[in-house]
Amino acid sequence: MARRNLLKNPNGDDDLDYWDLIENGGDEWKVEDMPGDCGHAFNDETVTKYFTTSFELCLKQQVVDLLEEGYTAEELDHQPPVTVEDWYCSRTDCGCVYQLNVRLLNENQEVIEEFIPENVKIDPDTDDCSWRQVQHTFTEYGQGLRFISFEHGGQDTKYWSGWFGVRVTASSIFLEL
């Protein structure tokens, strides 16, 4: 099976399709065109959109059913490396908070292993606000992997009405068989 991103609509090309909105605070999730107001160019010209958050917490999630994606239980029980990536940034005029939570789940959607880095706070007065990548590879996590939950989001730090919170794009999950 060729290497492919298991997340659908990772950049917002299909608005918010395929994403479950866990928290939709403030003025809610929105999709904008790169680079956006007070924004930054992205390092991949094929990525032309991003998701943006508001002044209250915005979190969105996809749960990938690996059997439905064509993997067999036997392949999954060999514990193939699972690499997750996400890109995030802030506007240059307003700070934000970014958070990520990725869980490997068994057939009952119980957690086998999870990656929850500390929330990142970006302050345009002291930080570079350009796009940053977070990446993690799960290995040796045991047998039983059947689903992967990918949840991310955040909000702005000034509680400004509108879409001044964290921006996310180019999210991905790859299995290395």
User: Does some domain include residue 114?
Assistant: yes
| CATH number, position 95 | 2.60.120.260
Domain count within the chain: 1
User: Does some domain include residue 129?
Assistant: yes
- Which ranges of the chain have pLDDT less than 50? none
User: Does some domain include residue 11?
Assistant: no
d(CA 22, CA 148): 16
**Structure confidence at residue 2 (pLDDT):** 61
| Residue 30: closest CA among 11, 16, 13, 10 | 16
Q: Which amino acid is at 75?
A: E
User: Does some domain include residue 15?
Assistant: no
List residues bridging with 41 in a β-sheet.
none
Q: What is the span of the domain harbouring residue 47? A: 20-175
3-state class (DSSP) for residue 155: strand
Share of the chain above pLDDT 70, in %: 99
**Structure confidence at residue 164 (pLDDT):** 86
